[in-house]
Structure 1
Amino acid sequence: MNNLIDIQSQIEKLQKQASEIKAKEFHSTVQDILAKMQAFGITVKDLQGAKPAKAVKGVRGKKAATAKSPKASKTAGVAVAPKYRGPNGETWSGRGLTPKWLSTLIAQGQTKESFAINAQ
């Protein structure tokens, strides 16, 4: 059976192995990077000024769209008069998800229209 001490010992051994592998492969990795930099004419200055590329998810069979933030609609954030009022004074404009208080009352057999505020 593995207990906490055994697992911690395994973690320590694996971390030591990982650092040894990293030390062995470090020099060859640096040489590989330098060779690619030379082949493509990349300088350290190029790397310092480079911005990380943003990943853009594409749709199958179509080109990926550029990453742009969606524009907010002109009416976003505009207050709307309440359309429904609950028994405890709760209100809902009728937009968005149905609030829990109304969902509960509908589940109990009441209708949404019975809580409509009559427009005068």
Structure 2
Amino acid sequence: MTNLIDIQNQIALLQKQAEEIKAQEFNKTVAEIKAKMEAFGITVADLDGGKTRMSKTTVKSSNPAPAKFRGPNGETWSGRGLMPRWLAALVAQGQSKDTFAI
């Protein structure tokens, strides 16, 4: 069975090996990145801030959709997205979703 000192020595050896591999591959990786940046027309300024030219920002509407369904305890649902638990439970009990329409 290995003891703690042996394991710590193995960790130190592996970390040294990892640093050597990283140093060997660093220049190659930088060259590959520069080639891709040139091919796509990417500049360092494009990388700043993490924003991409291709992405569009989604804007949430300040006006939520009006409620179309109201539950027995006053819960509301606009009819968009997943059916809320309170309505799903009532439908599972055999009631119609239309009975809760506003």
Identical pairs, percent: 49
Normalised to the residue count of structure 1, the TM-score between the two structures is: 0.48
**Which of 78, 81, 86 is equivalent to 1:93?**
78
**CA RMSD of superposed structures (Å):** 4.1
Written as runs of structure 1 = structure 2, the 5 A alignment for 1:1-120 is 5=4, 9-22=9-22, 25=24, 29=27, 50-51=44-45, 52=47, 67-70=54-57, 72=59, 76-117=61-102
Deviates more, 1:88-97 or 1:8-17: 8-17
Q: Specify which structure has the higher proportion of helix.
A: 2
In the TM superposition, what is the alpha-carbon distance from 1:83 to its structure 2 partner?
Answer: 1.6
Choose 1 or 2 for highest CA Rg.
Answer: 1
1:61-100, Cα deviation, whole Å (9 max, x unpaired): xxxxx60415648xx3323432211121101122232111
CA distance in 2, matches of 1:2, 1:113: 69
Normalised to the residue count of structure 2, the TM-score between the two structures is: 0.54
Equivalenced residues, count = 87
- For the residue of structure 2 that corresponds to 1:109, the secondary structure is coil
1:30-88, Cα deviation, whole Å (9 max, x unpaired): 9x96xx9xxxxxxxxxxxx723398x8xxxxxxxxx60415648xx3323432211121
> Which ranges of structure 1 fall in alignment gaps of 5 or more residues?
37-48, 57-65
Letter in 1 for 2:16: K
CA distance in 1, matches of 2:96, 2:17: 67
